[in-house]
A and B are shown apart, each in its own frame.
Chain A
Amino acid sequence: MEFLNIFLTPDFYSATFRLATPLMLAALGGVISERSGVLNMALEGQILMGAFFGYLGSYLFQNVWLGVLTAMVGSLFLAALHAFMSIKVKVNQVVSAVGLNTLALGITSTLFRFLFGTDSQMASCPGMANLDIPVLSDLPFVGPVLFSQHPLTYAAVVLLILLNLFLFRTSRGLELRAAGENPQALDVAGVDVIRIRWLAVLTTGLFCGLAGASLTLTGLNTFYDNLSSGRGFIAYAAVVFGKWTPVGAALAAILFGAGDALQLRMQTIFDIPYYFYMMMPYLITFFALVFFMGAAKGPAANSIPFEKDKGRRRSARRSRMGGN
């Protein structure tokens, strides 16, 4: 009975949206990159960069909004590396992502120690408070759930709507999707595929920066090693689970957020080691992927580097020597 009561409190739903925010932002970012044809499993590292640099910026400037800005710059740096490796150097995009995730962990932990010392006294930075929307936040139940969140949660919803409009209602969105489906076709139609992919991957970085900021700057107001703890991978799962659509990815992120909110509340009800509860969001992700991954079909040219086949460029020739 106590268990069922969880679902009756607005608190649970409010927490769901709060916990889903970083996942949703990163997943929307992932959709952009993957729709353009660049596999992006480096969401994790980008979130972590965003989280750390958001904290650092907010601490140094004593201003949370400048913190959000530095968060975006931090993950943009990692995104640029991923774009360079995937689009320009054309390394395997999974390998690039694994390397960058590790690099992000190294950068953030090292800089954190270097700048803040090793004592456990954690310096707090300015954070953002919940933003109550006038009138609406006073509504019973719905008010605290939907209209009394921190600004980045609202940002996530706005970005979801904008991204959906962009992808399916604009010419540039059509071109971005084409880059992920058949870049050659887009190229002969006279559109610069490389440019689209660069912009898409960099935009993913900006989204992940917001995701990272939403982890450190909305109440926690500090940083610790590996703070993102796998959220980037859960967000990636949301992209797949949501079948590469913004709405699908957002719904999946909310589902995973609900799992997190649920496990936090169950910890106080059943007396088993809380580690088991902490596994829950990951288990939900795992099962969601196991049962739905099979049917999921992503953009056709996802993870395949684009070769422009330009005769002027001699280097492009080498990779084609093997064929025929």
Chain B
Amino acid sequence: MEPVLRVHNITKRFGSNVANDHISFDLYPGEIHALLGENGAGKSTLMNVIYGVYGADEGEIYLNGKPVEISSPKHAIELGIGMVHQHFMLIPAFTVAENIVLGMQKELRLDIKDAEAKIAAASEKYDLRVDPHALVSTLSVGEQQRVEILKVLFRGAKILILDEPTAVLTPQEITELFATLERLKKDGVSIVFISHKLNELMSISDRISILRRGKITGCIDDLANCNPEALASAMVGRQVTLGVEKPEQEAGEVVLELDHLSVCNEAKKEIIKEFSLQIRAGEIVGLAGVDGNGQSELVKGITGLLPATGGAIRIQGVDMTGKTPREFIDAGVGHIPEDRHKQGLVLSMSVKENLFLETIQDRPYTKRHLLQKKAIQEKAKSLQEFYDIRAASLEVPAGALSGGNQQKIIVGRILEQDPKLLVAVHPTRGLDIGATEFVHKCLLKARAEGCAILLVSTELDEILELSDQIAVIYEGECMGVVRDRDATKEGIGLLMAGVKGTQAATAS
């Protein structure tokens, strides 16, 4: 059988950086070929070359055996290649139908009624349920993704490129997506599936190609005889052991107590509603939930960045309601913020300066309002070594470092303050396997030292792996708290989707 798409010896450079280095890749009709690789391995670049966003510096692309020069996304669409981007390319202010027909209509008159009817028919045909009239801004993330897929199919795509499609979905939505993909496969659609999540790739793919530092390092056909460890090792280029050692440990006394806490966002809308939770010393509580269900506001409430509008926050028994962020820090609250660029670091300032954002006014770094250069330099050096921050020097701007090293600056400086309570928000988002491993070890070390930790993450695997207890947030409410050993992915997934009931969490 001839491949529908064959990419031969593609090279793509950005300045001196080779993003794709002589890559060859093929896709057969009706198969799901996964592309696995870490951030920055060159997956998105390769797909953008195929989709005509970038021009390749070297190499050829063949469609059904014929060489093609794909000059633009428009051209790619005409050739039957469709891409669903990780960040949806939708216009929230437009309806579903308007989004789908955008750029398709040749004639001047826009017959939206006719378009809506056709879209409804297509939605029926592919079993991708969406209301063509609905404004995109009112849709859930899962529905928006359906619109994206429908948009691509509606344009007659026979090759579907999905870039990290599961990153924003709940486990149930992922199951639904996979069912859709299986159906499409039967209809003869070929799918390229990009991800860095091993388990889901193994369940959906027919073949997996591994990309590392711009090169294809392997293509695995026989998935039945392959384990995640081998895949991860191939992806990282060294031996890795998946999963962390989490020793059993008795939790101590209550450090954080949220008592019917309510928090409003900046727009004065109540987001967190009567949220109650306890975290004990030496315990990690994972907060699971689909992004945008109030995690940010809850964290801001716990760290004093937003005032409580109801209920109380107690830290080690002391009522902290209405206190300033500084008082929270002084009470022993450490915060690894969700957006390290905006909240965690001052990108244009040096690594050294970034290591002292909270502590610079304390002795011995400042005496009589004067900075003590020597003490600062020494401390910075030891932090750099201990937390393995790889930077050319302490003087380079934090913005010049890789994501993993940036995160190490934050983790290092927060843990150095010996927090009683650590609030870690998406601590490994966008990090490669090595850096993720390191951050996980740091969290477990803090746990061993008796720190109470709230781990907020949208990666359910991460939460299940590290947490002693799992709390689920849905639309600002606590759906329930489950012991680590009683938790199942399906149960947590139901809670994440807003299905209440304690048995939901433990049902399998």
Contacts and interface: CB of A to CB of B under 8 A. Distances in A.
Given A178-B94, A181-B94, A188-B89, A171 B53 contact: no
B98 A170 contact: no
Contacts of A273: none
Contacts of A174: 94, 98, 101-102, 105, 110
A244 to B, nearest CB: 11
Contacts of B89: 182, 184-185, 188-189
Contacts of A113: none
Contacts of B106: 171
Interface stretch (A16-24, A124-132, A307-315): A307-315
Contacts of B108: 170-172
A189 to B, nearest CB: 3
Contact of B102 (A185, A300, A311, A312): A185
A171 B101 contact: yes
B325 interface: no
B247 interface: no
Given A171-B109, A189-B89, A324-B402, 17 more contacts: A171-B101, A171-B105, A174-B101, A175-B102, A178-B91, A178-B102, A178-B103, A186-B103, A189-B77, A189-B103, A190-B73, A190-B74, A300-B91, A300-B92, A311-B14, A317-B14, A324-B403
Contacts of A324: 402-403
A190 B71 CA distance: 11
A188 B73 contact: yes
A182 B90 contact: yes
A185 B110 contact: no
A265 interface: no
B55 interface: yes
B109 A185 contact: no
A305 B67 CA distance: 35
B403 A173 contact: no
Nearest to B93: A181
A88 interface: no
A177 B101 CA distance: 13
Interface in A36-53: none
A313 to B, nearest CB: 10
Contacts of A294: none
Report the 3 A-B pairs with minimum CB-CB distance, sorted nearest first: A190-B74, A189-B103, A171-B105
A170 B101 contact: no
Contact of B93 (A300, A310, A322): A300
Interface residues of B, number: 39
Interface in A141-192: 169-175, 177-178, 181-182, 184-191
14 contacts: A170-B109, A175-B103, A177-B94, A184-B89, A185-B102, A188-B51, A188-B85, A189-B89, A189-B102, A190-B75, A311-B12, A311-B48, A317-B14, A322-B347
B36 to A, nearest CB: 21
A203 to B, nearest CB: 16
Contacts of A322: 347, 399
Given A171-B101, A174-B110, A188 B83 contact: yes
Nearest to B56: A311
Contacts of B85: 188
A185 B73 contact: no
Nearest to A173: B110
Contact of A189 (B73, B92, B110): B73
A175 B94 CA distance: 11
A169 B110 contact: yes
**Which bracket fits the contact residues of A?**
20 to 34
Interface in B62-112: 72-75, 77-78, 83, 85, 89-94, 98-99, 101-110
A310 B51 CA distance: 12
Among B83, B93, B99, the most chain A Cβ lie within 10 Å of the Cβ of B93
A181 B402 CA distance: 31
B81 to A, nearest CB: 11
Contacts of A191: 74, 102-103
Given A172-B108, A186-B102, A310 B53 contact: yes
Contacts of A172: 108
A44 to B, nearest CB: 28
Nearest to A171: B105
A95 B72 CA distance: 33
A182 B92 CA distance: 9
A311 B55 contact: yes
Given A174-B110, A190-B74, A309 B105 contact: no
Contacts of B347: 322
A157 B71 CA distance: 42
A182 B103 contact: no
Contacts of B72: 190
A311 B54 contact: yes
B107 A171 contact: yes
Nearest to B15: A317
Contacts of B109: 169-171
Contacts of A300: 91-93
Contacts of B15: 314, 317
A186 B102 CA distance: 7
Interface string A229-271: 0000000000000000000000000000000000000000000
A175 B92 CA distance: 14
Contacts of B91: 178, 181-182, 185, 300
A115 to B, nearest CB: 43
Contacts of A317: 14-15
Contacts of A189: 73-74, 77, 89, 102-104
Contacts of B78: 190
Nearest to A299: B93
Nearest to A184: B89
Contacts of A175: 102-103
B254 to A, nearest CB: 40
Of B73, B75, B102, B105, most A-chain CB atoms within 10 Å: B102
